């Protein structure tokens, strides 16, 4: 009795093992072919979609993209912790990457992927990587301002002479990254007084697009935004930028800040291989070429990768040297709040 039961148990165990092996194979196949990966995309939706489509076409790995904003997703990932359904997180700016990294929720990026980027576009710890970059600009009304009337530095906008003449979009992650750079470069006192000047002298808009439209409509003479809003509109109908030109502060000015968009892989991801493949793809030749030929007008950051030729070449931007991984978004949100801007 015992013996036959033992034999029976062994047979059951063997069958179970075989079944498990079969379902494991089926499970792996499912992960590759239909289940795929989930990307929390805080980059512009159109750019995220261009990357996802090209990646799926090349690898057959499906991607479910969820759309949100930098800080919203960073906070959500921290709250979800190990239960996060996200495999990959893409941002517009680096401070949201730094938040998730500081919470210890990223897996190290494959060396092969990191090697595709110059050191200036990735953090030293290798826990996330740059995927694109964007330049701060002063978008101005060219029907009202001549070049000699433009501010030499972004800090000049705090001058009472600029009262009522400029604006920005303080609620957005883009502006918050710009202020983080200002804080890193010039310290708390200068940053606080510049924010105070924006509150007192400037107009707060709800997005970069709205700020550019306001310049175009003659509501203000200029606004601090990122460069690609103008290029995107020019390439479309130009209806929101026909009166607008871009002024680049250059000269390592805080207003010449180049912000790095980031990509990271969640430590909790059950699809590490596919997630790593995705970041390798977007930082590689094909992924970076999408920045050159697509509609994002953001800068490519891969080694040897060219950006759209309509853009001012990256070296000519004369951006200040910034440690992207050390941008302090928490402090900046506190300061922007204290200034009464959000
Ligand atoms: Fe943006």
Question: Do 8 and 128 lie in a common domain?
Answer: yes
What separation in Å is there between the alpha carbon of 209 and the centre of ligand 1?
9
Question: Do 239 and 308 lie in a common domain?
Answer: no
What separation in Å is there between the alpha carbon of 44 and the centre of ligand 1?
7
Residues 114-131 have pLDDT tens digits of: 999 999 999 999 999 999
Size of the chain, expressed as the number of residues it contains: 342
Where does the chain show beta strands of DSSP type E? 37-41, 63-67, 88-90, 106-107, 129-141, 166-168, 202-204, 222-226, 244-247, 258-266
Give the whole-angstrom CA distance, residue 106 versus residue 114: 14
Structure confidence at residue 109 (pLDDT): 98
Q: Is residue 126 part of a domain?
A: yes
Least Cα distance to 138 among 230, 21, 259, 10 occurs for 230
What separation in Å is there between the alpha carbon of 226 and the centre of ligand 1?
7
Cβ(132)–Cβ(298) below 8 Å: yes
What separation in Å is there between the alpha carbon of 7 and the centre of ligand 1?
66
Could you tell me the residue range of the domain that residue 272 belongs to?
2-133+259-313
Number of domains within the chain: 2
Q: Is residue 322 part of a domain?
A: no
Q: What is the DSSP letter of 295?
A: S
What separation in Å is there between the alpha carbon of 193 and the centre of ligand 1?
25
The 3-state DSSP class for residue 41 equals: strand
What separation in Å is there between the alpha carbon of 296 and the centre of ligand 1?
10
Residues 47-91 have pLDDT tens digits of: 999 999 999 999 999 999 999 999 999 999 999 999 999 999 999
Average pLDDT over residues 206-220: 98
CATH assignment of the domain containing 16: 3.40.190.10
**Contacting residues for 154 by C-beta, under 8 A, at least 6 apart:** 136, 138, 182, 194, 224, 249, 253, 254, 255
Q: How many CA atoms within 13 Å lie on the side-chain side of 333?
A: 11
Question: Do 160 and 38 lie in a common domain?
Answer: no
What separation in Å is there between the alpha carbon of 134 and the centre of ligand 1?
9
Structure confidence at residue 35 (pLDDT): 76
How far is residue 21 CA from its own chain's centroid?
A: 40
Question: Do 220 and 100 lie in a common domain?
Answer: no
What separation in Å is there between the alpha carbon of 90 and the centre of ligand 1?
13
User: How far does the chain reach from its first CA to its final CA, in angstroms?
Assistant: 77
Question: Do 184 and 208 lie in a common domain?
Answer: yes
Which of 23-27, 97-101, 249-253, 305-309 shows the lowest mean pLDDT across its residues? 23-27
Give the ranges where 81-207 is alpha helix by DSSP (H): 94-102, 111-114, 173-201
Angle, helices 208-216 vs 228-235, to 10°: value is: 60
Cβ(196)–Cβ(129) below 8 Å: no
User: At 34, is the pLDDT very low, low, confident or very high (cuts 50, 70, 90)?
Assistant: low
Give the whole-angstrom CA distance, residue 210 versus residue 189: 29
- Name the pTM for this structure: 0.89
Give the whole-angstrom CA distance, residue 100 versus residue 85: 15
Give the whole-angstrom CA distance, residue 30 versus residue 303: 34
CB count, 10 Å around CB of 262?
A: 32
Average pLDDT over residues 324-339: 95
Question: Do 66 and 153 lie in a common domain?
Answer: no
Whether the pLDDT of residue 192 is over 60: the answer is: yes
Question: Do 246 and 171 lie in a common domain?
Answer: yes
Give the whole-angstrom CA distance, residue 249 versus residue 118: 24
The 3-state DSSP class for residue 278 equals: helix
């Amino acid at each position: 009795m015992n013996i036959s039961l033992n034999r029976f148990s062994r047979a059951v165990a063997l069958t179970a093992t075989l079944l498990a092996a079969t379902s494991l194979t089926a499970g792996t196949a499912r992960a590759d072919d239909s289940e795929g990966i989930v990307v929390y995309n805080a980059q512009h939706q159109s750019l995220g979609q261009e990357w996802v489509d090209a990646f799926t076409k090349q690898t057959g790995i499906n991607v479910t993209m969820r759309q949100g904003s930098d800080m919203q997703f960073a906070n959500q990932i921290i709250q979800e912790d190990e239960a996060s359904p996200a495999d990959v997180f893409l941002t517009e700016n680096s401070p949201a990457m730094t938040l998730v990294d500081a919470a210890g929720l990223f897996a190290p990026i494959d060396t092969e992927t990191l090697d595709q980027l110059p050191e200036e576009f990735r953090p030293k710890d290798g826990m996330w990587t740059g995927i694109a970059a964007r330049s701060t600009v002063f978008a101005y009304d060219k029907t009202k301002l001549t070049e000699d009337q433009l501010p030499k530095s972004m800090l000049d906008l705090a001058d009472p002479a600029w009262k009522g003449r400029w604006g920005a979009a303080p609620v957005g992650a883009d502006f918050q990254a710009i202020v983080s750079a200002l804080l890193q470069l010039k310290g708390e006192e200068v940053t606080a007084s510049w924010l105070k000047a924006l509150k007192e002298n400037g107009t707060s808009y709800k997005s970069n697009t709205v700020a550019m439209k306001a310049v175009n409509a003659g509501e203000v003479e200029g606004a601090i935004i990122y460069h690609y809003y103008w290029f995107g509109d020019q390439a479309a109908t130009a209806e929101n930028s026909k009166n607008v030109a871009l002024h680049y502060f250059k000269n390592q000015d805080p207003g010449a800040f180049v912000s790095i968009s980031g990509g990271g892989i969640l430590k909790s991801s059950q699809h590490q291989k596919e997630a790593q493949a995705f970041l390798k793809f977007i930082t590689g030749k094909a992924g970076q070429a999408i920045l050159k030929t697509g509609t994002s007008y953001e800068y490519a950051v891969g080694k040897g990768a060219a950006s759209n030729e309509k853009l001012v070449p990256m070296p000519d931007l004369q951006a200040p040297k910034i440690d992207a991984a050390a941008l302090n978004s928490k402090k900046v949100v506190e300061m922007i709040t204290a200034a009464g801007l959000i």
